[in-house]
Amino acid sequence: MKGNDWRWLGVGAVVLIGLIGLAFYRGLFRYVLFDPAWNYKGMVVVPDDCSAGNPEIVELPNGCLMMYTHGQTKESHPSENNTYARSSCDGKNWKWEGLVLKNASMPTATRLPDGRIRLYFMRGGIKSAVAKEGLKFVEEEGYRFEAGAGAPRPDEMDKVREYYKVEGEGKVEDIQSVAHLSVAAAEGRYRIYFDESMKADSRKYGDKAWPLWRIRSISSSDGINWRLDPGVRIDVGQAPLTLLQRSSNATVVKLKDGYHLFFFGGFSPWEDLTAWKRWAWSGTYEAVSKDGLNFEISNWPEFPGNDAAVIRRGEKLLAYPGRAQAARPGCSDIMLFERKLTAKEK
């Protein structure tokens, strides 16, 4: 090989290394570098309607599972957002159980000490219902937490205050919206993690900013009376995800080494500009906490998808993220990923 050839080969190698480094820096490999410990097991819920949004799963006293989702069936009115159930004893094959609550969205459930299932849902605020077998629910009186429901529409954005810091517990009246509930029960207490949306700080994001999403929580000793927890669980721009604009759709699993919180991460300002940059960064991330309040985030996404429900099943974690239906924008199918517990998690 001639000297010029070696020289050009060296220049090409340097350029290639530079491009690879830039791609890593810009997050372009995040979409393909999901944690290989998570094994894809296929699609497990593929409805022919929009009934599989926001999956949440609870284990029944008999060891089987109940999945609650929200949305609409073909028989529903388009304006309805109802809660439906599916059951499974192996976590892979899900049987349709039908409607469990009308006009009830973003469900999450926990098993009570007496074996009953308490379901929390959104209807103008957080309400609850109980059922012995997890299907025939009786609504409980009043609200568990009174706040807004869902992200504001674009024509309502001027009503949402600027991004603000939470001093201590914060004020209930400051919460403008609540979405995507996930309840965790541990050590005699209950905690509901929820999304809070607000207007982006125009000084940071300019006029192209989408609504910010961050994860807050409320706690209770009896599951009925709730109060805001201090601070923010996963905040906008929280290290190491400094470009994080949306942390949402939390699901929490209590393991031996602490609380494992899985959430969808969306990034800005790139997210507001081009789809391919959004795909390069977005995914389901994991954060770990000793107390369920202060979380440290992993730097790479665990698996693709959104609205994931994650549960422990024996020596494994099962994750059920949603995947958008190509034929129905805004509707989801549900995938299954598995990974083995590590020694420190068991």
Asked whether the predicted pLDDT for residue 14 surpasses 80, the reply is: no
What band does 17 get if pLDDT is binned at 50, 70 and 90? low
Q: Is 107 found in the same domain as 216?
A: yes
Nearest-angstrom CA–CA distance, 72 and 88: 21
End-to-end CA separation in angstroms for the chain: 57
Q: Bin 103: left if φ > 0, else alpha if -120 < ψ < 50, else beta.
A: left
Residue 215: count other Cβ atoms within 10 Å of its Cβ.
Answer: 26
pLDDT reported for residue 174: 75
CATH number of the domain that 108 lies in? Answer: 2.115.10.20
Tokens read off for 61: 């006293």
Q: Is 238 found in the same domain as 176?
A: yes
Q: Is 291 found in the same domain as 192?
A: yes
Tokens read off for 186: 């541990």
Three-state SS at 12: helix
Q: Is 149 found in the same domain as 267?
A: yes
What separation in angstroms does the CA of 106 have from each of 14, 51, 70?
50, 12, 6
Q: Is 2 found in the same domain as 106?
A: no
Q: Is 272 found in the same domain as 217?
A: yes
Q: Which domain holds residue 11?
A: 1-30
- Full DSSP string of 10-59: HHHHHHHHHHHHHHHHHTTTTTT---TTSEEEEEEE--SSEEEEEEEEEE
Model-level pTM?
0.85
Residue 74: count other Cβ atoms within 10 Å of its Cβ.
Answer: 9
What band does 170 get if pLDDT is binned at 50, 70 and 90? confident
Residue 165: count other Cβ atoms within 10 Å of its Cβ.
Answer: 8
Name which residue leads in pLDDT, 152 or 284: 284
Three-state SS at 146: coil
Residue 319 lies in a domain: no
Q: Is 208 found in the same domain as 160?
A: yes
Q: Is 162 found in the same domain as 53?
A: yes
Q: Which of 115-119, 183-187, 207-211, 279-283 has the highest mean pLDDT?
A: 115-119
Nearest-angstrom CA–CA distance, 196 and 176: 7
Q: Is 162 found in the same domain as 23?
A: no
Q: Bin 24: left if φ > 0, else alpha if -120 < ψ < 50, else beta.
A: alpha
Name which residue leads in pLDDT, 75 or 161: 75
Q: Is 144 found in the same domain as 12?
A: no
What separation in angstroms does the CA of 41 have from each of 91, 211, 235, 259, 339?
11, 33, 31, 25, 10
> How far is C-alpha 190 from the chain's CA centre?
18
Tokens read off for 96: 């349709």
Mind listing the pLDDT tens digit for each residue in 253-309?
999 999 999 999 987 654 444 555 455 567 899 999 999 999 999 888 899 888 999
Residue 346 lies in a domain: no
Mind listing the pLDDT tens digit for each residue in 51-79?
999 999 999 999 999 999 999 998 887 78
Nearest-angstrom CA–CA distance, 284 and 289: 17
What separation in angstroms does the CA of 339 have from each of 37, 93, 158, 198, 272?
6, 18, 43, 34, 33
Q: Is 276 found in the same domain as 129?
A: yes
Closest Cα partner for 266 from 299, 241, 297?
Answer: 241
Nearest-angstrom CA–CA distance, 76 and 51: 10
Tell me which DSSP letter residue 194 carries.
Answer: E
